[in-house]
Amino acid sequence: MSPRLPAVDALFERFTQGVQPGCAVGVIRDGALVHAAGYGFADTARGEGIDADTVFNIASTSKQFTAFALLLLARDGLLSLDDSVRKHIPELPAYAEAVTLRQLMHHLGGLRSYIDLLLLGGRTFAERTTRENALRVIGRQRGFDDVPGHAFAYSNTGYFLMSLVIERVSSRTLAD
């Protein structure tokens, strides 16, 4: 059972009345988790409640942190923004044109959307995608949606690859 603080439960009690969107709350004090709870519903139409273990898709809110972590590694001289992504992820195919970390950061990499590729392969949004699944489908692509550096195209693929580079170069998880 997750730790609970009655005062925090009281603050979020209004989310426990009826079927309504809610939230998950974690409180850390002196490095220790002292409260973990969910209140209300993650999906009101399907009646899916929120608890301390509910996984949320935070989508693109993590991109700013990914870019910042990459910039910190560049500042510290551990990589260059002009490195080819293949320097750090050699299992990617040898593209006709190099795709740089800078291009990935600015959504100019030209790489195909791994999400679209997975959906075309029969997966659904409801299925959880592993890092291995995503890297596998990206690695099978030999071509581009556009020439790298040529046109802006919002790219989850680029940021996924940047997260792998960060973890490999720093030997730490992106969450750390």
Catalytic residues: 60, 63
**What count of other Cβ atoms lies within 10 Å of the Cβ of residue 49?**
15
Structure tokens at 159: 């940021």
Please tell me whether residue 131 adopts helix, strand or coil conformation.
helix
Residue 73's Cβ-side half-sphere holds a number of Cα atoms within 13 Å equal to 27
Non-local CB neighbours of 69 within 8 Å, separated by 6+ positions: 166, 170, 174
